[in-house]
């Protein structure tokens, strides 16, 4: 949800799926004006209304939202699977960790004051450029941190660390009280070291056109190792980040949607899981899904085959009846008796049911065994391209993989529309009707 310049609230919903050619697709489903209170009941009704309009309510595999209590409760009321936005969770981890590191908080306030001083004074800006030129530093502007984006804190610290010429410029301008001492510069270096992995992880899962959901569990494992290692070297912020990660991601491998997505990504399979016992449970549930798919397909096939066989049998009987040889009549009677059931009907029905069940179960286990024998691919390769090439070899598992891998890891795609919405509902177009906002944003993203 977001607020327009007119202080009106809107709800944006995007859809994501893998098409028949194994390409990730994203679309803007709706942008609705929310005139009612932002309670879970109202949001839930609106979500259901949107999916009903697109006739996809029964096709929703999972819903991704931020960690807001009303959004979480709204999705729960729809009975759809819910996944918390991974980027938003990382944002909360970093914010709480910085707040817990009191010495870093005071340094950040000082850094913010330095940036504001140079941004608000042309004289100071000119002096900084002069010093940068003399000391051969890159001619880069300082970056101010924004409260709503934790990574802007990292960008501010990185730019200040690059432009340590600010100390010289501040001394020449007589603002020595703003200068950072050696200990503060050291703390800034440690903060950059601790935050950089989180910036990499955020970028990694914020895409729309390649698989992201399968990377959540591997990234969590890597972040925990990185923060734990840095914390052991005396990095106070890294220690806070490590504690936050352990608390927020303690049962992540037991989230079946995330775990199955990782398992069905040929880049990872089962090699990234810490709990090896959980892998067998994942495989068992995936096999059950495959068997259910196989049973449905077998029933559909057997129904079509039965109808076709009945038609062929009737045609053959009529054709043979028109001819009068005795041998043909005897053969015709036997075939007609078999097709109509008769004495063998119960037995034939049991055989068909046994074959269908046996085929579905056997195919599921066979495909799983062959998938486990496949080699993992390089991380630089596209898992969807691999599935496209091997789809015929895994007809059941491929369908399950397409369902899981088509999920996105974050709500970033919907948030990107907020920026476009800001351009659409501009200062000169702030009287747009809600339905026109919806259609303009829809057309802008198709």
Global pTM? 0.81
Q: Which of 219, 266, 260, 265 is nearest to 376 (CA)?
A: 266
Average pLDDT over residues 149-172: 92
Q: pLDDT digits over 261-313, tens only?
A: 999 999 999 999 988 889 999 999 999 999 988 776 655 555 554 554 444 44
Average pLDDT over residues 143-168: 91
Look over the chain and give the mean of its residue pLDDT values, rounded to a whole number.
85
* Cβ neighbour number for residue 69 with a 10 Å cutoff: 8
pLDDT at 230 exceeding the cut of 60: yes
pLDDT at 247 exceeding the cut of 70: yes
Average pLDDT over residues 374-395: 94
Average pLDDT over residues 416-433: 66
What backbone phi and psi angles, to 5 degrees, belong to 147? -60, -35
Residue 410 near residue 3, CB atoms below 8 Å: no
Measured CA to CA, the distance from residue 238 to residue 194 in angstroms comes to: 5
Can you give the pLDDT at residue 421?
63
Average pLDDT over residues 141-161: 90
Share of the chain above pLDDT 90, in %: 62
Q: Which two tokens stand for residue 421?
A: 């919405």
Contacts by 336-342, CB closer than 8 A, 24 or more apart: 339/309, 339/310, 339/313
Q: Which two tokens stand for residue 341?
A: 């059931």
pLDDT at 116 exceeding the cut of 70: yes
Residue 217 near residue 249, CB atoms below 8 Å: no
Can you give the pLDDT at residue 4?
73
pLDDT at 254 exceeding the cut of 50: yes
pLDDT at 227 exceeding the cut of 70: yes
Can you give the pLDDT at residue 435?
78
Can you give the pLDDT at residue 93?
95
Measured CA to CA, the distance from residue 285 to residue 287 in angstroms comes to: 5
Residue 431 near residue 5, CB atoms below 8 Å: no
Higher-scoring residue by pLDDT: 437, 109: 109
Pairing of strands 63-65, 82-84: parallel
Higher-scoring residue by pLDDT: 188, 327: 188
Can you give the pLDDT at residue 92?
93
Higher-scoring residue by pLDDT: 341, 75: 75
Higher-scoring residue by pLDDT: 123, 323: 123
Q: What is the DSSP string of 118-179?
A: HHH-HHHHHHHHHHHHHHT---------BTTBTHHHHHHHHHHHHTTHHHHHHHHTT-GGG-
Share of the chain above pLDDT 70, in %: 83
Pairing of strands 2-3, 63-65: unpaired
Confidence band of 43 (pLDDT split at 50, 70, 90)? very high
Can you give the pLDDT at residue 337?
46
Q: Which range in 32-41, 185-194, 272-281, 318-327 is most confidently predicted, on average pLDDT?
A: 185-194
């Amino acid at each position: 949800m977001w607020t327009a310049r007119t202080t009106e609230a809107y709800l944006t919903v995007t859809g994501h799926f893998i098409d028949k050619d194994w390409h990730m697709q994203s679309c803007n489903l709706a942008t609705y004006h929310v005139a009612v209170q932002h309670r879970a009941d109202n949001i839930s009704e609106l979500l259901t209304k949107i999916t009903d309009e697109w006739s996809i309510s029964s096709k929703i595999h999972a819903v991704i939202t931020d960690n807001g209590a009303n959004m979480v409760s709204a999705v729960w009321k729809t009975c759809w699977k819910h996944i918390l936005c991974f980027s938003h969770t990382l944002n909360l981890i970093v914010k709480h960790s910085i707040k817990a590191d009191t010495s870093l908080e005071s340094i950040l306030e000082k850094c913010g004051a330095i940036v504001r001083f140079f941004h608000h004074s042309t004289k100071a800006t000119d002096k900084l450029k002069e010093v940068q030129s003399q000391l051969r530093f890159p001619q880069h502007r300082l970056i101010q941190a924004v409260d709503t984006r934790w990574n802007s804190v990292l960008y501010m610290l990185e730019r200040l660390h690059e432009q340590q010429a600010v100390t010289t410029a501040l001394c020449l301008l007589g603002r020595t009280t703003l200068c950072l001492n050696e200990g503060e510069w050291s703390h800034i270096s440690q903060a950059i070291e601790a935050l950089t992995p989180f910036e990499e992880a955020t970028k990694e899962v914020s895409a729309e056109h390649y698989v992201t959901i399968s990377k959540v569990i591997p990234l969590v494992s890597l972040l925990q190792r990185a923060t734990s290692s840095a914390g052991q070297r005396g990095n106070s912020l890294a220690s806070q980040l490590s504690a936050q990660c352990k608390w927020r991601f303690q049962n992540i491998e037991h989230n079946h949607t995330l775990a199955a997505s990782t398992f069905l990504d040929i880049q990872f399979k089962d090699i990234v899981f810490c709990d090896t016992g959980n892998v067998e449970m994942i495989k068992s549930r995936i096999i059950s899904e495959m068997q259910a798919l196989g049973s449905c397909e077998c029933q559909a096939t057997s129904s079509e085959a039965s109808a076709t066989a009945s038609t062929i049998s009737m045609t053959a009987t009529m054709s043979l009846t028109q001819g009068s040889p005795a041998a043909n009549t005897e053969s015709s009677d036997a075939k007609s008796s078999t097709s109509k059931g008769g004495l063998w009907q119960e037995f034939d029905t049991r055989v068909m049911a046994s074959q269908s069940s046996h085929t579905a179960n056997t195919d599921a286990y066979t495909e799983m065994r062959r998938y486990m024998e496949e080699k993992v691919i390089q991380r630089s390769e596209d898992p969807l391209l691999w599935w496209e090439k091997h789809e015929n070899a895994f007809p059941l598992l491929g369908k399950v993989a397409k369902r899981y891998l088509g999920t996105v890891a974050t709500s970033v795609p919907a948030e990107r529309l907020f920026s476009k919405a800001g351009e659409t509902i501009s200062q000169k177009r702030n009287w747009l009707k809600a339905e026109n906002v919806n259609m303009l944003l829809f057309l802008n993203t198709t």
